[in-house]
Amino acid sequence: MKLIIAEDQGILRGAISQLLALEEDIEIIGEAENGEEALRLIREKPVDIALLDIEMPLVSGLDVAERLNEEGNECRIAIVTTFARSGYLQRAVKAEVKGYLLKDMPVSDLAEDLRKIYKGQRVFSPHLTFSMMEEMNPLTRRESTILIHLKNGDSVKEMSNILYLSPATIRNYISEIIQKLEARNRMDAIAIAENKGWLTKETF
């Protein structure tokens, strides 16, 4: 199988690349230090699987997966991460990601998971998915949308005009959001939701 590796930490990227290259059925045909470079490589080369870090400069691994899925690119995406965030899992599923794996797993296990992905299977780390299922997003789509507007600095009046809801309704939503997230105030609610990976473009 032909593989590219995208990871912004050069030492880690090099180590993973060298170890996977020792596998007889794996050929490393490119390395990238950010998401934009990964996209270019995938579009230019006959790549079977792209192994992507979830958080990279310029374009994240999930952004890469979403763009390729929209384009209908057949390259299989495997995300490697240390982040157990339910918002990330939801985005990965929607983007048709084939692997969601722990970054610190043994390379022999990683190689075996890549073989499963190459054969068409989906491989999601049980350690990550169990942690994420425990903290699924409690916000409704409407509540998430209002939180995005708060993050963007929109006032209650502005949100009322944009969302066609009364100011009183908007305030009730904000109070419910703060209560659900056990936040101290609006800014704390935004910070909590961002840290969980719950504020994404899928909200709108």
Taking 90 as the threshold, does the pLDDT of residue 138 lie above it?
A: no
Question: Which one has a higher pLDDT value, 133 or 1?
Answer: 1
Helices and strands, counts by H and E, the chain: 10, 6
Residues 49 and 147 in one domain: no
**74-99 pLDDT, tens digit each:** 999 999 887 666 667 778 888 899 99
Closest by Cα among 182, 161, 160 to 172: 160
Taking every pair of C-alpha atoms in the chain, what is the biggest distance, in angstroms?
64
- Which domain-ending residue is among 133, 159, 174? 133
Residues 124 and 195 in one domain: no
- Amino acid identity of 75? C
pLDDT at position 128 is 63
The count of C-alpha atoms lying within 13 angstroms of the C-alpha of 51, restricted to the half-sphere facing its C-beta, is 31
Residues 43 and 113 in one domain: yes
Domain count, the chain: 2
Residues 127 and 162 in one domain: no
Percent of the chain's residues with pLDDT above 70: 90
Helix/strand/coil for 168 = helix
pLDDT at position 161 is 94
Confidence (pTM):
0.63
- Which domain-ending residue is among 92, 108, 133? 133
**141-166 pLDDT, tens digit each:** 899 999 999 999 999 999 999 999 99
Taking 90 as the threshold, does the pLDDT of residue 36 lie above it?
A: yes
| Burial bucket for residue 70 (CB in 10 Å: 0-12, 13-18, 19+) | exposed
| Residues 115/170, Cβ–Cβ less than 8 Å | no
End-to-end CA gap in the chain: 37
| Burial bucket for residue 201 (CB in 10 Å: 0-12, 13-18, 19+) | exposed
As a whole number, mean pLDDT of residues 21-36 equals 94
Q: How far apart are CA 148 and CA 143, in angstroms?
A: 9
pLDDT at position 140 is 87
Supply the CATH number for residue 111's domain: 3.40.50.2300
Q: Around Cβ 152, how many Cβ atoms within 10 Å?
A: 10
pLDDT at position 83 is 65
Residues 59 and 153 in one domain: no
Residues 31 and 79 in one domain: yes
Q: Which residues constitute the domain of residue 23? A: 2-133
pLDDT at position 131 is 52
Question: Which one has a higher pLDDT value, 130 or 18?
Answer: 18
Supply the CATH number for residue 153's domain: 1.10.10.10
Q: How far apart are CA 204 and CA 200, in angstroms?
A: 8
pLDDT at position 85 is 64
pLDDT at position 202 is 46
For 1, 149, 173, 178, the CA distances from 154, given in Å and listed in that order, are 49, 5, 14, 17
- Which domain-ending residue is among 133, 158, 188? 133
